Structures are given as C-alpha cells and as structure tokens.
Amino acid sequence: MKQVKFTAMENGNQQDYDLLCEGFEEYTSNLPKRVLDGLIELKTAYEGYQISRYEHSLQTATRAYRYKENEEMIVAALVHDIGGTLAPYNHGALAAAILQPYVSEKICWIVKYHDLFMKYYWGHYLGLDRYAREKYREHPYYQATIDFCHNYDQNSFDPNYDTLPLDFFEPIVYKLFAQPRHHSPYLKE
C-alpha cells in the first residue's frame, strides 16, 4: 500500500496529495453501497413500531416515488432517517450532511429539519413543543418540509402498505451518489 511521506500536512508535496486524492476517489466510489448498508442497519433500530425503521424508510421513499417526486427527493426520502443509528438526537442533520453534496439546498434543508417538524405529530405527548417548527415559518422551505413530513414521513409506519423493495431504489441511489454536484472541497471550481 502506497503512503504519503509527510507526518504533518504542511510538509506534503504534489505527489503526496495526488496519492491521497486517488485514494479518496476510490473510497468515495463505494459510497452508494455504504449508504445502502447504513439503511439496512435500520432494520434493528428503534423497536416498538409495527414495522422496522428500514421498512419505514422504504415506505417513505415509495410514497415519494408514487407522488412523482424527482430522484433527489426519492433518495432523500429513502435515507432521511439513516443518521438514526449514529446520531439519534439529530439524525436529520447527519442524513442532510451525507446528502448535501448531491442534492439541492431545498432537499438538504428538508432532511436536516424534518425531525424537528415531525415533533408536530408527537411532541406534545412527551411534553415537547409540537409547534417548534413555527420558528421557521418565514423560511422558503417551511411548507415543503411540512409537506414532506405529512405526505411521506409521518404516515409511513403501515405494515399493510405495498412498499417497494430496496432493489427498486438501488439504481437511483447509485445514480445520485455517482458524483457530487456542488459544495465539495474536492471538486474543482
């Protein structure tokens, strides 16, 4: 295995950074599989629902697909809860960080804040402010986030819903994660 020669980044040279970029590109080419593997981890997360969080994610994406959303929104619906295994208290922010180089600002914002907006449906049962989303009322993506939560997320816990399987969504995931569109420090401007 090739390695850089430096022990401090300030001492690196062009060859070192070319080598690191090559390794980075090789590693990131496998990102879609790692995202799908992270989704599969949701099979055992958050017990107590009638379906697993994995099935919930598939169902959310199925609803977005059937509502004729674009591929970015479908993938966002599929992975919106992927951060739940590593960041249970801010899973939306983690999922948004994964999606951010690949989707529009709007979709990234929806995913980032969906967990706050979802409190509307359950927060009051736990003594939380169900209207916490109101602080974003003037934000341009406020209504889109309400729509995402209402149309795809909050109603996707149905064991009898005709949910599409993961292999249906895999080509869309691979296509979306094939190349960052923006906001990557590794992309040449």
Q: In terms of pLDDT, which residue wins out, 186 or 34?
A: 34
CA distance 81 to 59: 12
Query: For residue range 37-68, what is the model confidence (pLDDT) as tens digits?
Result: 999 999 998 789 999 999 999 999 999 999 99
Query: For residue range 146-160, what is the model confidence (pLDDT) as tens digits?
Result: 999 999 999 999 999
Assigned token pair, 74: 């479908």
Q: Look at residue 39 and tell me if it is in a domain.
A: yes
Q: Look at residue 25 and tell me if it is in a domain.
A: no
Q: Look at residue 2 and tell me if it is in a domain.
A: no
Query: For residue range 82-132, what is the model confidence (pLDDT) as tens digits?
Result: 998 899 899 999 999 999 999 999 999 999 999 999 999 999 999 999 999
Read off the DSSP letter of residue 2. -
Q: Look at residue 45 and tell me if it is in a domain.
A: yes
Contact at 8 Å (CB) between 91 and 116? no
Which residues span the domain enclosing 169?
Answer: 31-176
Closest CA to 84 of 114, 59, 107, 121: 114
The pLDDT-based confidence of 184 (bands split at 50, 70, 90) is low
Q: Look at residue 44 and tell me if it is in a domain.
A: yes
Closest CA to 118 of 94, 86, 145, 100: 145
Q: Look at residue 117 and tell me if it is in a domain.
A: yes
Q: Look at residue 170 and tell me if it is in a domain.
A: yes
The per-residue DSSP string of 51-113 comes to S-HHHHHHHHHHHHHHTT--HHHHHHHHHTTGGGGT-TTSHHHHHHHHHTTTS-HHHHHHHHH
CATH assignment at residue 70: 1.10.3210.10
Q: Look at residue 138 and tell me if it is in a domain.
A: yes
Query: For residue range 6-27, what is the model confidence (pLDDT) as tens digits?
Result: 999 999 999 998 898 888 888 8
